[in-house]
Structure 1
Amino acid sequence: MLYSIFGLIVDTVTGILGALFLVRFWMQAVRVRPPMAFAHFMFQATDWLVKPLRRLLPGVGGYDWASLIGAFLMIMVSVALDLLIAASVTPQALIVLSLLRLVQWMLYGLMGLLLIEVIFSWVNPHAPLAPLVRAMNEPMMRPLRRVIPLMGGIDLSPIVAFLLLRIGLSVSSALLLPLAF
């Protein structure tokens, strides 16, 4: 019971921090400026690790690699603690499971952004965060919208995007999980 409580706390804290690192990376990658209040929160929550990592890993190619590595380190902490408690720690398992969880977090994050955009389009397309979410989804949706025409004025590309992201989750699990053991 204590294991499950400890695991819940660790997964929650590392999940929130990892998500903030990934959002920070993605917003810079797609060149989106967040609302000031959210940006202030995100930078305060992640600067403690991003700033030291930037000394080692400066941004190359317009990407904030320190934020991506910060997310990976959060995942490694979570996986390492899970494996330590389960008493099955090998360096190979730690790295492979951390990579798998990073890919999963990224894909689930994109699915969440897509879901938020769909809800905004139904409920309030002019919400203050709607342009930010739309801009963060645009690199993923633009190629799909070129291929999938509107049907009766309804955009079906989010459904295809969800399907592709779910396939990505299945494929990543199938490819990486056997490597860990």
Structure 2
Amino acid sequence: MGTGTPLTDGGLFLIQFLIGMVIFILMLRFLLRATHADWRHPIVNFTAKVSNPICFPVNKILPAKGRWDIAALITAFIIQTLFVLFIGWMTGKDFGAVFIVIASLTEVANQLLDMMFWLIIIQVILSWVSPQYNPNTAIFIQITEPILAPFRRLIPPIGGMDLSPIFAILAIKLAQIVIVGSIVQFAQPLSGIAG
């Protein structure tokens, strides 16, 4: 989405990168809480410390209860919405309100699904490289196990091979292509931009 000048495009890229990192941390926070990850682990501790100030305003209204950190999702949605508005302002495009909401929701959903995809990939690689229990990498098992468990119930191990990661990855990618992709396609005419 170029604006014409290298300086503006560079600034836009930098802001997009920073926003992406913030959304990444918020999605990680959501997944860590949803999967009951050990909060004593350094990765979990770091994520909490970095994301607490970002989530604080929403947490005041919606305190976290149980395993679902709704504040992290809402904060991610608000930040992504502000970014879409900023992109519109920077590029001189007048996005429709419905498009802004849908674009923000689908971007947050894509980030969450991408994170699940890569966490499963990392866990599979670690299980090959270091099959023995390792407290430093155990966090990946804690995060991915609740994602893989439903697939493992449907497709039990065959000949000692656990195929649940393959089917989980397929399901995640299909959800991105079919469900999220269809919503994005539906939203395109609502952007208020021809073409």
Structure ranking higher in helix proportion? 1
Q: Distance in 2 between matches of 1:52 and 1:90?
A: 27
Q: Per-residue deviation at 1:60?
A: 4.2
Q: CA deviation at 1:78?
A: 2.8
Q: Which residue of 1 aligns with 2:171?
A: 164
Mapped to 1, the partners of 2:145 and 2:44 lie a distance apart of: 20
Identity within the alignment, %: 25
Which residue of structure 1 lines up, in the alignment, with residue 183 of structure 2? 175
- What residue number does 1:82 align with? 87
Length-normalised TM-score, structure 1: 0.89
Larger Rg: 2
The structure 1 segments of at least 4 consecutive aligned residues displaced by more than 4 Å after TM superposition are none
Shift of 1:111: 0.2
Residue number among 103, 110, 115 corresponding to 1:104 in the alignment: 110
Question: Does structure 2 conserve the Cα–Cα contact (< 8 Å) formed by 1:79 and 1:98?
Answer: yes
SS at match of 2:158: coil
State the Cα deviation string for residues 29-59 of structure 1 (Å, max 9, x = none): 2211244432332223212221221111122
Describe how 1:1-181 pairs up with structure 2 within 5 A: 1-60=6-65, 62-88=67-93, 89-125=95-131, 126-171=133-178, 172-180=180-188, 181=190
Gaps of 5+ in 2: 1-5, 191-195
- Maintained 8 Å contact 1:19/1:105: yes
Report the alpha carbon displacement of residue 136 of structure 1 after superposing the two structures with TM.
Answer: 1.1
| Segment of structure 1 superposing worse, 55-64 or 115-124 | 55-64
The number of residue pairs the alignment matches comes to 181
Provide the rounded CA distance (Å) in 2 between the counterparts of 1:35 and 1:112. Answer: 22
Please report the TM-score for the alignment, with normalisation by the length of structure 2. 0.83
Q: 1:27 to 1:113 in 2, by over 3 A?
A: same
